[in-house]
Structure 1
Amino acid sequence: MKSIDAVTEVPAQVPQFTARLSSTGRGARLARRLAVQQLAAWGVPYDSEASHTVAVVTAELAANAVTHGRLPGRDFRFSLLRLPGHVRVEVTDARPERLPPTAPAAGARSLETDSGRGLLLVSAYAERWGCEAWDACTKTVWAEIACR
Structure 2
Amino acid sequence: MTSETGPRAVSVPPLFTGDFTMRFSSTPRGARLARRLAAQWLDERGLPHGDTAHDELVLITAELAANAVRHGRVAGRDFRLRLAAGEGTVRVEVTDVRGERTPVPARDADGEAESGRGLLLVERLAARWGWAPRGDGPGKTVWAEYRLPGGRDL
TM-score clears 0.5: yes
- The match for 1:100 is 103
Equivalent runs, 1:47-126 vs 2, <5 Å: 47-101=50-104, 104-107=105-108, 109-111=109-111, 113-126=113-126
Structure 1 counterpart of 2:8: none
Q: Which has the higher contact order (CA 8 A, sep 6+)?
A: 1
Residue 41 (structure 1) aligned with residue 44 (structure 2): yes
Q: Distance in 1 between matches of 2:110 and 2:88?
A: 33
CA distance in 2, matches of 1:126, 1:66: 21
How many pairs were matched up? 132
User: What pairs with 1:117-136 in structure 2 (closer than 5 Å)?
Assistant: 117-135=117-135
TM-score by length of 2: 0.79
How far does residue 83 in structure 1 lie from its aligned partner after superposition? 1.3
Unaligned 5+ runs, structure 1: 1-13
Q: Percent identity?
A: 55
Question: In 1, distance between residues paired with 2:88 and 2:63?
Answer: 22
- Distance in 1 between residues matched to 2:110 and 2:29, nearest whole Å: 27
RMSD: 1.7
- Larger-gyration structure (1/2): 2
Give matches, 1:14-33, under 5 Å: 15-33=18-36
Matched to 1:43, the amino acid is G
**TM-score normalized by structure 1?**
0.82
Which residue in 1 is equivalent to 2:3?
none
2:106, 2:115 within 8 Å by CA — same for their partners in 1?
Answer: no
1:114 deviation in Å? Answer: 4.4
How far does residue 111 in structure 1 lie from its aligned partner after superposition? 4.1
The C-alpha deviation readout for 1:45-74, integer Å capped at 9, x for no partner, is 111111101111001100110011000100
- Checking the alignment, whether the CA contact within 8 Å between 2:106 and 2:120 is kept in structure 1 is no
> Which whole-Å CA distance do the structure 2 matches of 1:54 and 1:20 have between them?
19
Secondary structure of the residue aligned to 1:106 is: coil
Partner of 1:142: 143
